[in-house]
Each structure stands twice: as C-alpha cells, then as structure tokens.
Chains A and B, each alone.
Chain A
Amino acid sequence: MTRLLLARLAQGIAVVLLVASAVFVLVRLAPGDPFATALDDATVDMAVRAQWRAAYGLDGSIGTQYVRWLGALLQGDLGWSTSRQLPVTTAIADALPWTLALAGTATVLAFAIGMATGAWQARHRDTTGDRAVTAFSVATVALPDFWLALVVLLAGAGWWHVFPVGGATDPLLDADASPTTRTLDLLRHLALPLATLTLTMIGSIARLQRAAILDQASAEWARTALAKGVAPGRVWRAHVWRTALVPMATLAGLALPHLLGAGVFIEHVFAWPGFGGLAAGAIAARDYHLVTGCTLVATVLVVAGTWLADATSAWLDPRLRAATSESRA
C-alpha cells in the first residue's frame, strides 16, 4: 500500500511540473501582454518598457524565461506579480486561506447534507419525497455556478438585505473589534458564498450516495445478513452505509477541482478575496507569473486531494489493500 501511495506521489509531482510548464508556455503564447494596459501610452519610452520587462523577468526568449523560472521555483520563488506588484507567493498566501476557509466549510457542509440526503432517499426509494429531492439535486447540478451565485446574491443581499453584499469583512470594521465581533462579521460575510458553493455540490453528492447505498443494499451479503436475522437498521448503518462510503471518499478527492473551478465564479461575484478571484484577475491582466503560480498551487491541491482520496479509499476498503498486496506478490 505504501509503495502504491509513494508511486502516486511521484506521479503527482510529475503532473504538477508538467501542468505548470504547459501553462507557463501557453499563457505567453496567448495574445496580450502584461504591460499592454499599463505601459501602452505612446509617451512611455521604449527604454522604460524594456526596463520594466527586465525587472519582472519577462525579457528574453520563452526558453530563457522558463529556465529562469525553474531555477527560482527550486528556491521557492514563484516570481513577481505584474498586476498586484507583490511576490506571487505573498499574493497566493494572502488569498489561499480565504479559499480554504470557504471551500473547506462548503465541503464539510455539502458532504454532511448530501450524504444524509442520499441515505434518506435510499431508505425512501421511489417515494414522492425521493423524487422531489432528486429533481432538486438535478437542478442544483445543472444550474450554472455564476447564475446561482447572482441569484443568491440578489436574494440574500439585494432584495432582503439579510446579508452583506460581498467581501470577507465589513470594510468599516473597527481595528479594535473583539474576536467575537470579528467572527460574527466573518460568518455574516461567509453565509452567501458558502450557501452557493454548498448548493453546487449537494446534488451530485446526494445522487452518488443514494446510488451507492442502493447498490450495496441489493448485494448478496446484505441479503444474507438480513436472512440471518440481523436487524435491518443495523445492516443499513453498520454494513451498507459504511461500504457505500468508499465512492464518497473518491468523490471528496475529486471535489477539489470542482471547488477551485466553481470558486472562481463564486469568489468573483461575492468579492471573496480568495484564490479563484486571484487567478481570474491574473488571467485577465495577463499576469504571467501569477497565472503560472496559481496553476501550480491549484495542481498541487488537486493532486494532493486525489492522493488523499486514494489513501482514504484504501483505508476504508480492505479489498483495495488486499488487491495491492496480491499484485505485489
């Protein structure tokens, strides 16, 4: 098992480097220039433009820039953001905690609600309630993230004025505010983006959980357990539901790309100062180093998520561990 996970780790590192390198090249081949808007005034001397390019490491061929970037990367330096005028590592370090707070909370909430809903649907299969929840789940999966975000924003902040329109904190929050006040303020601002991001995930989780439970419930071993007189509730809780957790662990690992992707729109709409907004702004500004840095970090997160999902699945499912041991033998 350990060997398998180490192999996956090595694959992951290769994937991260490959993706970051591809983005490094592609973003430079795309039309546009990081200084097009900043220095396109014809009164700006060509020498000044060249000096800015050199200062940001954007002079020379793509190959030269790539070697320079790779050398800096080995020292933990992701370059300098042209749009934010900050080290890329600082920009990402500022934004990432906000995204992790939002995405992490949304993941916990979505899985808690989605799994409970899926389990309830499985127990009440083909009832009106099951069909209604299925329709709701399909709708939340089908709705575009940005549209859902706009509707939630307008409803929660525009029409009913229950929550603040955007941001992560009140711009007028007193610097001396107590931790309680700060926490409450954060929760008020978190509510709408959290609700949106959670909604985008609940449907697929519930659908998968329902299907997994029904699949396990119809398995021979479940029927055998019931035939042997084990209480149905115990069969469901201790056997069927537990076995149906394995695909959920896989889904949790694969949820990260979704969270980062949906986060771009949701953070943008709710002015959440996170990673998604940072990446979207970087692309619009052709901020080469920041785009590459964001891609690198996002790929690391996705690879890490997948690796964790593999490890969790193996821990939950003895068959996987056994299969690995057999193949080794």
Chain B
Amino acid sequence: MPEPTRLVPRRAVLACLPAAIALAACRGDAAPDAATATDARGGTVVVSTPAEPDNLAPPITTSQFGKQVEDLVFERLADLGPTLNTVGDAGFEPRLARSWTWSADSLSIAFTLDPAARWHDGRPVRASDVRFTWRFYTDPATASPTASLLANIDSVTVRDSLTAVVWFARRAPEQFFEATYQMHVLPEHLLAGADRARLGASPFARRPIGSGPFRFVEWVPGQRLALVADTTGGRRRATLDRVVYAFAPDPMTAYQRFASGEADVYEAVRPDKVGEVTANPALRLAVGPTLTYHFLGFNLHRDASDAPHPIFGDRTVRRALSMAVDRAAVVRAMFDTLAVVALGPFPRAAATADTSLVPLPFAPDSAARLLDAAGWVRGADGMRARNGVPLAFAITVPVSSASRVRAAIVLQEQLRRAGVAVTVEQLDFPTFLARLDARRYDAVLAGWSADPGTAAVRQSWGARGARAGGENTGRYVSTVFDAHVDSGVAAFDAAAMHAHFAAAWRRIVDDAPAIWLAEPRTTIGLHARLRPVGIRPDAWWAGLHRWSIAPGQRLARDGAAVTAAR
C-alpha cells in the first residue's frame, strides 16, 4: 500500500526532513469534510509549469502534461483509488459510472452511468458514448498509441441508454483496470464525423469538450491554459472555481513564478530550492511517494550485438559493482533528502512492491574479492585489468538532468576507489534516447516512471522488452524472472500476486542487471492557502477537483475567479 502524501509543516522541514520523509504521519486528505460545502467553493489555482500539451484529444495525446489536463476535462468510467490497486475492482472509485456489475463468468462488466452526467455543452452522457469511445480508440485509422492496451476488450455493447457492457476476450486480473484506466470517455455527438486520421488537426484537439469536473476555457500556446469548474451538471462540482496553467519553458523561471507568489503550485521543487520554499511563510511543500525509480543500467551485450558485454556479461562482476557502490551517498548527491534508496526495479508505492526485500549490501571488501575472483585484478596504478584489458566503461547520461549528472560523477569516484575506470558521457536528451534505442552504450543512468498496472515490468525488464524496439535495452533475460512476473500478472489472488512478484524481485536483484539507486519523492510546492486533497503517487492532480481555499485566506485572484466561473 502506498504511503500517503503528506504536507510538511514549514520551518520544520529543513531540520527534520530526512525523518519526516521516513514517517508516514498523516493522510494527504488534509482538507476537512466541509471542503465541498458551498461556502468552501471558489478560488483560483495557478499552476506554474515548464510543460505544454501536444494536444488535448485523449486517444492521441502522448505528452504527460496533456494527459494531466485531460484527467480534469474528461472522465473515466472509474478511477484508481489511493491504494493504486489494479487487480479486480477493489479500491476503484466511481466516475462516469455510478456502479458496475460483473457477469457470472467475469467476461463482461456492465457499467451503469450516472444519469446526471453531462457533456460540457449540456448534452447528456450516454452508454453509446462509451461504445463509441472504445471503437474510436481501437480504430486503426485513429492510430492511438493506447490501442494495444485495450486488446483484451472484445467489444462494448449498449444495454440501455445508461448501461454500457464491456466484453473481454479472456479473464484477466486487470481487466477492470484496462476497461477504465486506459480510456477517457469521448462525446459521440461531437466526434462521430471527425477525420480520425487527422484528429490532431481537429478543433476538438485544441478546444476539447468533456464531462469532467473542469471545463476547458482557452489555450494560448506558449502562455496559458485555463479551465473553470463545470457547473452545468451539478454533479461532482469542483470546489475550486478555476485552474490556470502558466507556461514557462525554463524550469528556473517556472519555479521563480511560484516562489514570487504569481503561481500557487509548482510540481517539482528541486532539492536546492526546498530551503527557500520552507522559509517562505506563504509557501509550503507536499512530499510524498511517486512511481519513479532511478538506476544505473548495464548493457549486458556488446552494443547492439548478441555477444556478451566483456564486463557486464558476467553476473559476478555486476554484483561486485553493485556492492562497491554506496547507494545512499549517490541518492544524497542526486536528491539530497528528497529520495530514498531504491530496493529494486519497483517503487515502494506500486501494488507489486516487496518492501521486505533486502538489496545487495554496500560491501567494498566483498566487491574487491569478487572482482579479484573474476580475474579483474589491481595493477600498479590501483586500477583493475584482466589480461591487459582495463576494467573501464562509460556511463551515459542526459545532460539535461542535473541530478543524473551529479550521480554519474559520484559513481565515477566511488568506482575509481574500487579500481574501475569510469568516464561520463553527457548527451542531449534526444541523442541519449537514440543511443538507448540503438543499444549503443555500456551503462546508462536512467529513470522509469512505472505504470500502475502489474504488467508494465514485462516491457522494462522482461524478455519481451529485450526485443528490438523494447524498453529493456540492457537486454536482461531471465526465464525465472519472466515466469514469476507472468504468474504474478495472471494471479487473481492478491497474496499469490505478491508472492510471485516478491520472487521475481529477489531474482532480478540477485542478478544485478542494474544498480538500483533512487526512489525520488514528489516535492510539490504549494501556496500556503491551498488545502490539497488526494495527491496520488502517479498523479498529484487526481484530487484537484476537491482542493479548496479557506474563504478567509483568499487573494484577489480568487475573488476574480468566482465571477469568471459562475
């Protein structure tokens, strides 16, 4: 179960941040129950962000920020709960669907829509919209990147105007997740005639109409994107009146806009700015878990060939290198106190996590013995070599990530002490990705933002991800790991799922295809007057419609929003 996001009291942060992170003191639902009361309604939240959407048509949106806006403008049938469980329907919260019923054979789920649900143009949301949505996503003409994730859905039928039935090709533990999480329901009456092959060029992609808690107002490229609370349906009315995203491509400028009070939210406060935020009485910091982890991944093969890598092809050497690294020091260099040492290729907040896993220890003496045994012995200069070949490799890192560059430098020094010569290769991000895709690297400092689903790990560390075009670019392949993951993904019983994943994690940690480094915490900067609710590890904005501002703490811009939204 994920640790809830906590609000760290200002002033106390600097002194006790390490301890504060380790403690799960209180739930993120800091706002009182009365937050949804009429008198709590109102206010504006300005989010300062360096990102901008690619488009706002859910089937073809690829940017994270675009998906964030769509989560507010559109709705799913149901949404993940705070536990992030994806097996069965436990923990899922109703959204467009008020309730759902499983068939006896579990091959279909009938979703009953909320009769009060309305599109933002006033038209009612109907079951036919759900059917249309599935057809739209899976139509090859749409070329939706999400289509393959809906492969287990055989069809969607309409039982009556408010009941949509989703039929599955086969029973699967995550079939409810697949039917709800991967699709935002679309308005058939607006998109039925759309040219699906050119959806990105349609007006809908720039001015979407959804049924979510916020209604789209405007998007001025390079400047702002504005949403207001939808008041037409009277259902799930957002407490806030308005959310405005202010764009600034430079992260420093985006942060400065927040720090100066022009914006209320900055979603990724850097460690070196934490002190500044906590010292400012008008600001505070929300620290919580994420689904992200960072690692130093080894290429187990010589570049793109099938030949084993002369260093990383040897499991013993990989284990030795892992044990030669003081990961806590690397994590401090990367994120100061705003991260914990990763346990393995999973974040602690993931449903599949095994927090009892004991990672390889930091044991320089043992590492030295293992390297000696593998034939990599120290020479007169203290550096290791085998048969005249030095123990040397390059760490490839994107230059745009200051934290990863810092980590590479610390790793370089730590490994030098172990007799390993490391060079740091800094590349711009597109080149970095191209090198990964081509598998032309020795070791890479990378980070994954894990999908809440259980199956995503197959792509990142399983055999199927090792194929051309896959994400497992280091090509770690273990039939034992794959078997446990497959069994875990197929398990309907939570205990069995956990047992299989625990075994899989044990195996991959023992095989050491990477040095698992850091699990950063989300560090959201907030204006002190905000009362955030339900910050989820995979989506801090998940509960934004329930955020509130106490009437006595409102600023001039909050009052202006009331006029604009009503």
Contacts and interface: CB of A to CB of B under 8 A. Distances in A.
A37 interface: yes
Most A CB contacts (10 A, CB to CB) among B63, B147, B221 go to B221
Contacts of A40: 433, 437, 471
Interface in A249-296: 268-271, 273-274, 277-278, 280-281, 284-286
- Range of interface residues on B (Cβ < 8 Å): 35 or more
A29 B38 CA distance: 59
Given A38-B54, A171-B46, A281-B249, A31 B430 contact: yes
B260 A158 contact: yes
Contacts of A83: 54
A208 interface: no
A85 B221 CA distance: 11
A44 B560 contact: no
A44 B434 CA distance: 17
A95 B223 CA distance: 11
Contacts of A46: 469
A40 B430 CA distance: 12
B260 A161 contact: yes
Nearest to B472: A42
A41 B433 contact: no
A45 interface: yes
A169 B221 CA distance: 12
Interface in B201-246: 201, 205, 220-224, 226, 244-246
A316 interface: no
B192 interface: no
A80 B200 CA distance: 10
A41 B253 contact: no
A44 B200 CA distance: 18
Interface in A19-47: 30-33, 36-47
A106 interface: no
Contacts of A87: 201
B250 A268 contact: yes
Given A31-B431, A55-B197, A171-B46, A165 B256 contact: yes
A157 interface: yes
A271 B246 CA distance: 10
A226 interface: no
23 contacts: A31-B435, A32-B428, A32-B433, A33-B433, A33-B434, A36-B433, A38-B145, A42-B459, A42-B465, A43-B149, A48-B147, A84-B221, A85-B205, A157-B260, A158-B259, A161-B260, A165-B248, A169-B223, A169-B224, A172-B46, A174-B564, A271-B222, A271-B253
A43 B435 contact: no
A157 to B, nearest CB: 6
Most B CB contacts (10 A, CB to CB) among A46, A48, A164 go to A48
A116 B1 CA distance: 69
Interface in A25-77: 30-33, 36-48, 51-52, 55
B247 interface: yes
Contact of A43 (B143, B245, B434, B459): B459
B157 interface: no
A211 interface: no
A277 B149 contact: no
Interface in A74-125: 80, 83-87, 91, 94-95, 98
B27 interface: no
Contact of A39 (B62, B198, B557, B560): B62
A150 to B, nearest CB: 7
Contacts of A322: none
A240 interface: no
B198 A55 contact: yes
Which 5 A-B residue pairings sit nearest by Cβ, starting from the closest? Answer: A32-B430, A273-B222, A271-B248, A38-B62, A171-B224
Given A38-B62, A45-B147, A94-B222, A164 B262 contact: yes
Given A36-B434, A167-B247, A167-B248, 15 more contacts: A40-B433, A41-B145, A45-B148, A46-B469, A157-B256, A158-B256, A161-B261, A166-B253, A168-B223, A169-B224, A171-B46, A172-B44, A268-B250, A269-B250, A277-B249
Interface string B142-156: 011101110000000
B437 A166 contact: no
Most B CB contacts (10 A, CB to CB) among A83, A84, A95 go to A84
A248 B544 CA distance: 56
A52 B143 contact: yes
B429 interface: yes
Interface in B476-515: none
A48 B145 contact: yes
A42 B248 contact: no
Interface string A156-188: 011001001111110110100000000000000
Given A153-B253, A165-B262, A171 B221 contact: no
A154 interface: yes
B9 interface: no
A84 B54 contact: yes
B434 A150 contact: no
Contact of B469 (A30, A42, A51): A42
Interface in B171-187: none
B257 interface: yes
A37 to B, nearest CB: 7
A94 B140 CA distance: 32
B430 A286 contact: yes
Given A38-B63, A42-B465, A172-B244, A48 B143 contact: yes
Contacts of A166: 248, 250, 253, 256-257
B260 A172 contact: no
Interface in B438-484: 459, 464-465, 469-471
B440 to A, nearest CB: 10
A86 B52 CA distance: 13
B55 interface: yes
Interface string A298-323: 00000000000000000000000000
Contacts of A52: 143
B471 A42 contact: yes
Contacts of A157: 256, 260
B431 A32 contact: yes
Nearest to B143: A51
B252 interface: yes
Interface string B548-563: 0000000001001000
Contacts of B435: 31
Contacts of A278: 222
Contacts of A36: 430, 433-434, 437
A91 B206 CA distance: 13
A284 B261 CA distance: 29
A164 B258 CA distance: 11
A40 B464 CA distance: 15
Contacts of B261: 161
Contact of A284 (B143, B260, B430): B430
Given A150-B252, A165-B262, A269-B253, A37 B433 contact: yes
Contacts of A161: 260-261
Contacts of B247: 167, 271, 273
Contacts of A44: 145, 148
Given A43-B148, A52-B143, A55-B198, A171 B246 contact: yes
